[in-house]
Chains A and B, each alone.
Chain A
């Protein structure tokens, strides 16, 4: 085989035709891992033996059942890189923190199990901001991941390694967690499609907990079509996570969009002070594309947007300080002296806002402003089917640029945290490139459990644009 297959359907068509084997697919990805992992710092652990074992099983399944294998195993042969926050039985799971650097779990997360049962092949565990704490990947205790598009820049975080793996041709799909931006930001910075699902649509079971009312389990792919395929496998009720509901997806077909039945809202607050001019221009072009397709574009207002980061940086550290309270070095992992700076900062911030005398002023007030943010979205969705906005106010920034300024770093999440606070889905889609060749994504947000609409909107965009076909030349 010469080139790596791009989409799941292309891959599976070739596997079934026996144009190449799943083992050969793994050969190709592993060759690229060996060539680029050292420079880009993408994987914490490469699971070569397991990948070959699963690839052989996929090949046997195809030999035995031919095309029918695909109905039983919808992700047959799909090579996946899992963020190192997803527990994998028998495979070291570190959260990219020194606290867990030798932790080998006794069970796997629901997402990992569902993908495995669907025929996916795990190639390794990817680097991330330790515990998911960051938007750039630089807070990993094992060193930052670099952006394959420009290795002097960040790939976005916290699911930094999964994004770099897919963008760099080291995996077909990367899993991630999105608590405030952590799937959409790296997707946007690496020219990928990234889903932050509705809170309560994908099980969180077996994933290192960060902020429990905000954590969602997402994934990154090269196309919207593939993203939908992964979602269909991982979503749905799980006895092990009481927040997850089955929700029958309302099928939206592309014709409905073409017939002008869709209204998309543009929130004016997402284009104000602080947005990079090139990002703004790129998003405006995306909006023009949608207009050409017959989508009705309406200006909407989300007036509490400017408070979202403040609310988020109270609620999230509060929940984080509680979740990280379990690490005492007794039952598993090392002691609390092994926490890195960002974890310490968030634990202390969270402890402070929950402590006697400050609870009402910070935490309770933040929970109330959270209600106002949710109300903003409800009002907007009374007028529109979905909202279109930038993912990040800037293109991928330089490594080290925001290291010593936590507030500046936190503000890079200004367009993404609201979706987490409101529990709604967000889909990041490649929207173009800056003059310097850096990727810029846009996001589509919808009401709870509206993933299907977002996928449909993303798919029609990818039919008329080619941004997602642009590949890194490593």
Chain B
């Protein structure tokens, strides 16, 4: 199994939207590498013809009545109560585009 390179760590961090210092990249490279090495033992298990398990309830497609439950609805005030970054009752989000690139 491929060991992690620093480039792999930086790539994964980018996918996960984490910014790492160069020291963190080194530290996590070693630690994640060790953990992945530990995972290699799963290769010993014969899993041919075995169905994967993603959950254990045995339930499928649990639905509820398509009705509005007002006790579960937030008004605007409650919805934005978790942040100070609001404008006219809206969330303020970081800009995705800037004026220089289209």
The interface of chain A, by Cβ under 8 A from chain B, is 103-104, 106-107, 199-200, 213, 239-240, 242-243, 245, 304, 306-307, 309-311, 313-314, 321, 325, 328-333, 336-337, 339, 344-345, 347-349, 351-352, 355, 361-362, 364-372, 374, 406-407, 410, 422-423, 448
Contacts and interface: CB of A to CB of B under 8 A. Distances in A.
Interface of B: 1, 4, 8-9, 12-13, 15-20, 24, 28, 31-32, 34-36, 38-39, 41-43, 45, 47, 50-57, 59, 62-64, 69, 72, 74, 78-83, 85, 91-94
A355 B39 CA distance: 16
B18 A243 contact: no
A213 B39 contact: no
Contacts of A347: 16, 18
Contact of B32 (A307, A337, A345, A423): A345
A294 B32 CA distance: 48
A297 B78 CA distance: 56
Given A242-B62, A307-B41, A330-B93, A348 B13 contact: yes
Given A321-B16, A332-B83, 20 more contacts: A103-B82, A106-B78, A213-B54, A242-B63, A243-B55, A307-B41, A310-B41, A311-B42, A314-B39, A333-B82, A348-B9, A348-B13, A348-B18, A348-B32, A349-B36, A352-B4, A352-B36, A368-B45, A369-B45, A410-B35
Contacts of B94: 330
Contact of B52 (A103, A333, A352, A368): A368
B47 A372 contact: yes
Main secondary structure of the interface of A (DSSP, over half): helix
Contact of A213 (B20, B55, B64, B79): B55
A313 B15 contact: no
A242 B63 CA distance: 7
B53 A337 contact: no
Contacts of A362: 36, 39, 42
Contact of B53 (A321, A351, A370): A370
A351 B56 contact: no
Contacts of B92: 330
B44 to A, nearest CB: 8
A371 B82 contact: no
A199 B56 contact: yes
B86 to A, nearest CB: 10
B30 to A, nearest CB: 10
Given A103-B82, A348-B18, A407-B34, A371 B1 contact: no
Contacts of B74: 106
Contacts of A325: 16-17
Nearest to B47: A368
A374 B43 CA distance: 18
B19 A330 contact: no
Contacts of B24: 344
